[in-house]
Structure 1
Amino acid sequence: MVKPRKSVESRKGRRREDLLRRFADYLEGECDASALTIENYLSDLRQFALITWGDDPETWAWAGADRYNARGFLVTIQKLGGTSATIRRKLSALRSFYRFLLREREVAENPFADVQLPRRERPLPKVLSESEVAQLIEAPRLWLEDPRTEKRGPPRRREAIAARDTAMIEVLYSTGMRLSELTGLRETMVDLIGGVVRVLGKGRKQRLCPLGTPAVRALREALRLRPELAAQGKGNRAANAVFLNVRGGRLSGRSVERIISKYAQYAGLPESMSPHVLRHSFATHLLDRGADLRSVQELLGHSSLSTTQIYTHVSVERLKKVYASAHPRA
């Protein structure tokens, strides 16, 4: 009399696996999900089953799962080091599965319906060290001395390009301005005597950004050699833009990104580095040296202090790294 019972249990196990196959067909046929999405969802469902009931499919009681099983699964994934994005995906898979089971009348309730998704993690911005910034500022000079740059035109024109790029990096780091704010700079917005630049930010809001002495010096040199680039243009296409391209027009944001990537290579930094890293570095270095958060908010042109607060987390993380590398019992 034992064999028939064993056969019944085996059929139940097969039926529980069959629910997964039906769900996969539903995802493919009705939701037009990709093969990778289906694979990931099924993997998440099996992981839930393994954690909740063990590795024997005959014990996978999908209809018996409750909110405590759901929350227990969430806690387990967190303990295993799952990121916020990973947990959100797994919960999404399980919610979808139980919505499908509800539709098919295989379960009476969705145990994951009331489980709150964890907040999306906001990655900390990438920041250069002060020495790395110095390397990046020095990179245009290295480019100018590189024999391969002789193909870029007459010496005077190459000097103008190097001076422009040095000033561009100095200004980005000295003011923390956005890329669009840099490319939108006009000569009338720069006060080299007062050491400030007027920036037109988001929502066409204006703010004044101080220029450090090195940035003022670099800008003077760039503006002195600027006619070498302006002469390549036709008419007044650049509208008195501070930073011109090699054809005498206004330098575009995409061009600035390519230029920064080129100099990152010369400086031994990741080529994928964006101009925005200099903005992050500007804010973080100010806070590292004792600047108050409100002042940094004003300098960055943030409308909300909460946006600026992420840089305090960056500073804390940097302090932790210093502590870990320097303290004998870290």
Structure 2
Amino acid sequence: MQSYKELFMEYLQIEKNASPLTLKHYGRDLDEFESFLKSEGLTIHECEYPVIRIFLSRQYEAQYSRRTVSRKISSLRSYFRFLEREEIVGQNPFLNVVLPKKESPIPNFFYEEELEKLFTVSDLHTPLGQRNQALIELLYGTGVRVSECVKMELPDLDFSLNTALVHGKGSKDRYVPYGQFAAKALQTYINDGRKQLASKKDDSSKRLFLNAKGGPLTADGIRLILKNMVEKAAMTVDIHPHKLRHSFATHLLNEGADLRSVQELLGHERLSSTQIYTHVSKDRLKNVYMNSHPRANKR
């Protein structure tokens, strides 16, 4: 017989079409909560608001960030909502729990001159070098998430319009344009490097990015590729795929793109998710003002 947790995870996967990363986070949060209940000698049916307060106090004692605590509350609230729907519990003890106010961290991004170094380290005479060049051009040129990048297939690219069909969170698709640098790198890789990589594995995979053995490239594989590129460029900066996404959004806003357009390109459901990038534009606006307004500076 399936456990309550297994039933819920199946519901997330089948009915909600949750991503593997979302399932991983939910599973980890539920495991931690079940361990807490076991340590207190309680069952899922004995969860009331005072029990939840004890659980939350343990989270703060462990010095989890407000963002992490918020995620755990949301996970457990959804879990109990499911249990309530299935008539396994009578009430949702997380229903009236207020989420802690989230921090608004400044997004970490590359300066343009830093990115230029990364665009010069790949050996374009090798299949893997061509793949790596196409990969970084696409990540920076479209701002796609790494989870969206690994799912991308050959038919998703339209070279006549230079657009990519991106399969986003919650099965929400969007079209994102890419520039000439990305188009050239992608065409070189698809026409040459990818064919050589695909020949190593006898399958009919349409995935755009392949690994050294010819199989689909994973998210962890992309992170390792970017790390190696930074090392080749002799850069002393941290890199992760989301940093390229942050750079994409920041550079667009710095050059005058409007927030709504950037929101659509990033696939953000809420404008508030995109507004974290506006602080970077404030520096640019200040410079424009100081250099342009007749009463801003003594001449």
- TM-score bracket, shorter-length normalisation: 0.5 to 0.7
User: Among 278, 286, 289, which residue is 2:252 paired with?
Assistant: 286
Describe the SS at the equivalent of 1:250: coil
* Pair 1:122-2:107 in alignment: no
Quick one: which amino acid aligns to residue 235 of structure 1? D
User: Among 188, 192, 197, which residue is 1:221 paired with?
Assistant: 188
Match in the other structure for 2:242: 276
CA distance in 1, matches of 2:196, 2:172: 32
Equivalent residue runs for 1:13-162 within 5 Å: 119-141=101-123, 159-162=126-129
* Pair 1:309-2:275 in alignment: yes
Match in the other structure for 2:156: 189
Quick one: which amino acid aligns to residue 258 of structure 2? D
Describe the SS at the equivalent of 1:245: coil
Inter-CA distance 271–192: structure 2 relative to 1 (3 Å threshold): same
Describe the SS at the equivalent of 1:128: coil
Show CA shifts across 1:257-282 (max 9, x none): 00001101122334631011110000
Q: Is the 8 A contact 1:260 1:274 kept in 2?
A: yes
Structure richer in helix, relative to its length: 1
| CA RMSD, Structure 1 to Structure 2 (Å) | 3.5
Show CA shifts across 1:67-124 (max 9, x none): xxxxxxxxxxxxxxxxx98xxxxxxxxxxxxxxxxxxxxxxxxxxxxxxx99442211
Equivalent residue runs for 1:163-312 within 5 Å: 163-225=130-192, 226-236=194-204, 239-270=205-236, 272-312=238-278
Inter-CA distance 288–246: structure 2 relative to 1 (3 Å threshold): same
Offset of 1:227 from its aligned partner? 1.2
CA distance in 2, matches of 1:298, 1:270: 32
Describe the SS at the equivalent of 1:244: coil
CA distance in 2, matches of 1:319, 1:136: 28
Could you tell which deviates more after superposition, 131-140 or 217-226? Answer: 131-140
CA distance in 2, matches of 1:328, 1:221: 50
TM-score between the two structures when normalised by the length of structure 2: 0.61
Aligned length: 207
Q: Is the 8 A contact 1:262 1:271 kept in 2?
A: no
Quick one: which amino acid aligns to residue 171 of structure 2? R
TM-score between the two structures when normalised by the length of structure 1: 0.56
Identity of aligned residues (%): 42
Q: Which runs of 5+ in 2 are unaligned?
A: 1-39, 41-53, 67-98, 291-295
Match in the other structure for 1:53: none
Quick one: which amino acid aligns to residue 221 of structure 1? T
